[in-house]
C-alpha cells in the first residue's frame, strides 16, 4: 500500500502545526492520519479494496449489512458479498458485460442497488446512476454523456428508458434475484486498474446544466481510505439511515464506507420526515446521514414530538452549509446528538473536509478540517493570489479523490482542473486552528453597491425564525444598487408572518448592506438531491416571468 501523507515538514517548507499552513507555498496541508492506499497503477478495484477493510472490524459476517425499512428484510454482510460476487460473474457470462462498458442505474434507494454497485465495480463496468425523478427528456442528456450499453431500473420506472444494446434488467424482478443467487459459472473477473473510470456521477447543476463527473477506482478508494484513516472503534456496529439518495455522490460513497466499516445500513425507499422518524425509532438508528434541510426540519418545535430518538448518536451532515443558528437550534433540542459536518463536491468524490470526534463536533459554523491526503489553497478570485489563514477566497483542493474530469467536455475540465487543483467555486476561509468555514458559492454572491452579500448567511438566519419552514435568497436586479437580496420564504403551517416582519427580523442582525429588500412567499424551495438550493430556478422565475416589479 502507498502511504499518502501531504503533511511532511522540512526546514525549507515550514508548516504551522495548528492550521497545516505552509507560508512559503501558501498551501494548507492535512493534519489527519495519512491515507493507506494502493499505488496509482495497482490492479485492484474499489470494490475489492473496500471489502479488504472489513477485516479491521471485529464483527462476524453474519452481522446485518442492510435492512429494508418497508419490509424489514435483512441482508447479512456474508450474503451481501456473495450475491454481489455472483451477480458480477453472471453479468459477464449471461449478459456479455465487460470492463469498460457503462451501465445506467435508474432506481430509488432499495437493497438491490448496493449489490449492483459492488458487482459492477468489481468487473470494471462504469456505474452511471441517475435521479429517478427525471423525465425521459432529462435522462436523454445523461445517456448522451455516458453512453451506457445496459440499464438497471425498476418496473415502475422502466417506461422512462429507451432500448439498450445489452438490454434492461429490472431490479425488482425474479430475473435479478436469480442473477444474484444462482451461479452459472466460475468465470474469472477481469483485472481492474486503480486509474480506470469507476463511475460517472452528475454534478449538482446548481449553476448550469449537469456535467458527467468521471471518478476512477483510485478516487473511490481514496474516499473509503479517508474514513478508514479516522476509524474509531465502537462496541457494536453503527446503524445508519441514509436519507440521501444512492445516485448522489454523498449516498454513493457512504455506501462504500458502510461496507468497509461493517455498519448496518437501513434503506428507506422514499423520504418523508414523519416516516424517517418512525424508522429511526423502530430500528434504533445511531447515525442519521442527512442534508441540512433535514436537520433544520427536526429542530422546529413539535416536529419530532411523540418519537423516541434516544438511540441517535450523531448526524453526519453534508451537501450544503449548515448555519450556526441552525446548528445551535438542533443541539439545544438534541444535546446528546453530535453533528458531524463535512464538505465536498461530486468532483472531489464527496467529503474532503470533515468533522472528526466529539470535540470537533461541538464547533458550530465549520465543516471541519482537511481530510487525509488532501491539500488546499484559498485563492483571491480577483488577483489570483493565494491567501493566508483568516482570509476569504475561492477554495482549491488537490489529492487522490479529485476527479479525472468531465466526460466529453475537455474545455470544462481544463477550466475546473488546474495543475491537479480542483477549483471548487466556493468562497471559504481557514481559521487559526485549521477549520474550514464555507461562506457561499462564488457565482451566487450578491453584489450590492460593491459589497458582497452571501445568500447562505441570510438563509440560515431566516431558517432560524420559528415561523419560517424554509427559505432561499437570490440576487435581484436593481438600477441603483446593482443587485439586492430577495428572499423566498416558506411559512410554517397556519403562520401569518408578513414581509415587513421578516425584513425587520433580518435587519436587526446584519449590516445595512445585507438587509433583505423584498420577500416572496412560496410553497416550497427547489433543491437538488444533495440539499443544495437551486437558486438559478428561482432567479429564472423572477427574471423571465417578471413576477415582481423593479424595486
pLDDT band at 551 (very low <50, low <70, confident <90, very high): very low
How far is Cα 439 from Cα 441, in angstroms, rounded to an integer?
Answer: 7
C-beta separation of 309 from 278 below 8 A: no
What one-character-per-residue DSSP string does 248-314 give?
SHHHHHHHHHHHHHT-EEEE-SS--HHHHHHHHHHTT-SEEEB-HHHHHHHHSTTTTTT---TT--E
Asked if pLDDT for residue 449 goes beyond 90, the answer is no
Give whichever of 5-9, 103-107, 231-235, 466-470 has the largest mean pLDDT: 103-107
Residue 439 dihedral angles phi and psi, to the nearest 5°: -90, -55
What one-character-per-residue DSSP string does 167-194 give?
-EEETTSHHHHHHHH-----PPPPP--T
More confident residue, 131 or 543: 131
Lowest mean pLDDT among 3-12, 88-97, 111-120, 520-529: 3-12
At 37, which helix (H) or strand (E)?
strand 35-37
How far is Cα 220 from Cα 120, in angstroms, rounded to an integer?
Answer: 14
pLDDT band at 392 (very low <50, low <70, confident <90, very high): very high
In this prediction, residues 22-27 reach a mean pLDDT of 95
At 516, which helix (H) or strand (E)?
none
pLDDT confidence of residue 450: 63
In this prediction, residues 53-65 reach a mean pLDDT of 94
Asked if pLDDT for residue 6 goes beyond 50, the answer is no
Which positions ≥6 away from 302 have C-beta within 8 Å?
A: none
pLDDT confidence of residue 352: 95
How far is Cα 75 from Cα 174, in angstroms, rounded to an integer?
Answer: 17
In this prediction, residues 102-119 reach a mean pLDDT of 98
More confident residue, 532 or 6: 532
pLDDT digits (tens, 9 = 90+) for 65-83: 999 999 999 999 999 999 9
pLDDT confidence of residue 9: 44
pLDDT confidence of residue 502: 94
pLDDT digits (tens, 9 = 90+) for 463-501: 989 999 999 998 888 777 778 899 999 999 989 899 999
C-beta separation of 398 from 422 below 8 A: yes
How far is Cα 299 from Cα 304, in angstroms, rounded to an integer?
Answer: 8
Asked if pLDDT for residue 547 goes beyond 70, the answer is no
pLDDT confidence of residue 11: 47
In this prediction, residues 432-443 reach a mean pLDDT of 87
What residue segments make up the domains of the chain, in order of their start?
Answer: 46-438, 445-545
pLDDT confidence of residue 5: 56
Asked if pLDDT for residue 292 goes beyond 90, the answer is no
pLDDT digits (tens, 9 = 90+) for 161-198: 999 999 999 999 999 999 999 988 778 889 999 999 99
pLDDT band at 115 (very low <50, low <70, confident <90, very high): very high
C-alpha dihedral (371, 374, 379, 385), degrees to nearest 10? 140
Q: How far is CA 125 from the centre of its chain?
A: 22
How far is Cα 116 from Cα 419, in angstroms, rounded to an integer?
Answer: 35
In this prediction, residues 106-131 reach a mean pLDDT of 97
Q: Domain 46-438 class?
A: alpha beta
Percent of the chain with pLDDT over 70: 94
pLDDT confidence of residue 550: 47
pLDDT digits (tens, 9 = 90+) for 400-421: 999 999 999 999 999 999 999 9
Q: What is the CATH number of domain 445-545?
A: 3.30.300.30
pLDDT band at 203 (very low <50, low <70, confident <90, very high): confident
Asked if pLDDT for residue 139 goes beyond 80, the answer is yes
Asked if pLDDT for residue 10 goes beyond 60, the answer is no
pLDDT confidence of residue 382: 86
C-beta separation of 34 from 374 below 8 A: no
pTM of the complete model: 0.84
Which positions ≥6 away from 357 have C-beta within 8 Å?
A: 232
What's the Cα-to-Cα distance from 341 to each of 136, 333, 363, rounded to whole Å? 35, 18, 10
- Alpha-carbon Rg for the chain, nearest whole angstrom, is 23
Asked if pLDDT for residue 8 goes beyond 50, the answer is no
Asked if pLDDT for residue 544 goes beyond 60, the answer is no
Lowest mean pLDDT among 6-20, 392-406, 489-503, 510-524: 6-20
Asked if pLDDT for residue 138 goes beyond 90, the answer is no
Place of cell 445595512: 512
pLDDT band at 330 (very low <50, low <70, confident <90, very high): very high
Asked if pLDDT for residue 452 goes beyond 80, the answer is no
Lowest mean pLDDT among 51-60, 111-120, 236-245, 473-482: 473-482
pLDDT band at 49 (very low <50, low <70, confident <90, very high): very high
pLDDT confidence of residue 220: 98
More confident residue, 465 or 537: 465
Place of cell 416516516: 275
pLDDT confidence of residue 150: 98
The rounded mean pLDDT for the chain is 90
Amino acid at each position: 500500500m502507498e502511504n499518502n501523507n501531504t503533511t511532511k515538514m522540512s526546514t525549507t517548507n515550514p508548516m504551522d502545526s495548528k492550521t497545516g499552513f505552509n507560508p512559503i507555498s501558501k498551501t494548507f496541508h492535512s493534519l489527519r492520519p495519512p491515507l493507506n492506499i494502493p499505488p496509482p497503477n495497482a490492479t485492484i478495484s474499489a470494490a475489492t479494496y473496500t471489502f479488504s477493510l472489513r477485516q479491521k472490524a471485529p464483527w462476524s459476517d453474519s452481522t446485518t449489512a442492510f435492512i429494508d425499512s418497508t419490509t424489514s428484510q435483512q441482508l447479512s454482510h456474508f450474503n451481501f458479498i456473495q450475491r454481489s460476487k455472483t451477480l458480477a460473474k453472471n453479468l459477464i457470462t449471461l449478459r456479455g458485460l465487460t470492463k469498460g462498458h457503462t451501465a445506467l442505474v435508474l432506481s430509488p434507494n432499495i437493497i438491490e442497488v448496493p449489490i449492483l454497485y459492488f458487482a459492477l465495480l468489481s468487473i470494471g463496468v462504469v456505474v452511471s446512476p441517475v435521479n429517478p425523478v427525471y423525465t425521459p427528456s432529462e435522462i436523454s442528456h445523461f445517456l448522451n454523456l455516458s453512453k451506457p450499453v445496459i440499464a438497471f431500473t425498476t418496473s415502475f420506472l422502466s417506461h422512462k428508458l429507451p432500448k439498450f444494446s445489452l438490454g434492461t434488467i429490472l431490479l425488482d424482478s425474479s430475473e435479478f434475484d436469480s442473477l444474484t443467487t444462482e451461479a452459472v459459472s466460475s468465470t474469472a473477473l477481469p483485472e481492474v486498474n486503480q486509474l480506470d473510470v469507476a463511475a460517472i456521477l452528475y454534478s449538482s447543476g446548481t449553476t448550469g446544466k449537469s456535467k458527467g463527473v468521471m471518478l476512477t477506482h483510485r478516487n473511490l478508494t481514496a474516499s473509503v481510505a479517508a474514513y478508514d484513516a479516522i476509524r474509531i472503534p465502537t462496541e457494536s456496529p453503527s446503524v445508519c439511515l441514509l436519507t440521501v439518495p444512492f445516485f448522489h455522490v454523498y449516498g454513493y460513497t457512504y455506501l462504500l464506507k458502510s461496507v468497509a466499516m461493517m455498519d448496518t445500513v437501513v434503506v428507506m425507499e422514499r423520504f418523508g420526515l414523519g416516516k424517517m422518524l418512525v424508522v429511526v425509532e423502530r430500528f434504533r438508528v445511531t447515525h442519521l446521514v442527512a442534508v441540512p434541510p433535514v436537520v433544520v426540519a427536526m429542530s422546529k418545535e413539535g416536529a419530532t414530538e411523540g418519537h423516541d430518538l434516544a438511540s441517535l448518536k450523531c448526524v453526519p451532515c453534508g451537501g450544503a452549509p449548515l448555519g450556526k443558528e441552525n446548528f445551535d437550534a438542533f443541539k439545544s433540542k438534541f444535546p446528546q446528538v453530535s453533528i458531524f459536518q463535512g464538505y465536498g463536491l461530486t468532483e472531489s468524490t464527496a467529503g474532503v473536509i470533515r468533522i472528526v470526534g466529539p470535540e470537533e463536533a461541538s464547533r458550530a459554523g465549520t465543516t471541519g478540517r482537511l481530510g487525509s491526503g488532501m491539500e488546499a489553497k484559498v485563492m483571491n478570485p480577483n488577483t489570483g493570489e493565494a491567501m493566508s489563514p483568516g482570509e476569504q477566497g475561492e477554495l482549491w483542493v488537490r489529492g487522490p479523490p479529485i476527479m479525472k474530469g468531465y466526460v466529453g467536455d475537455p474545455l470544462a475540465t481544463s477550466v475546473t482542473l488546474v495543475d491537479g487543483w480542483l477549483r471548487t467555486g466556493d468562497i471559504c476561509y481557514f481559521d487559526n486552528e485549521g477549520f474550514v468555514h464555507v461562506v457561499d458559492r462564488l457565482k451566487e454572491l450578491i453584489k450590492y453597491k460593491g459589497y458582497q452579500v452571501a445568500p447562505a448567511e441570510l438563509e440560515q438566519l431566516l431558517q432560524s425564525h420559528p415561523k419560517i419552514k424554509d427559505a432561499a435568497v437570490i440576487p435581484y436586479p436593481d438600477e441603483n444598487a446593482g443587485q439586492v437580496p430577495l428572499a423566498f420564504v416558506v411559512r410554517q403551517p397556519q403562520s401569518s408572518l408578513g414581509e415587513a416582519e421578516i425584513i425587520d427580523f433580518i435587519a436587526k442582525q446584519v449590516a445595512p448592506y445585507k438587509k433583505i429588500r423584498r420577500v416572496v412567499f412560496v410553497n416550497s424551495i427547489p433543491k437538488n438531491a444533495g440539499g443544495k438550493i437551486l437558486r438559478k430556478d428561482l432567479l429564472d422565475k423572477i427574471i423571465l416571468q417578471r413576477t415582481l416589479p423593479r424595486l
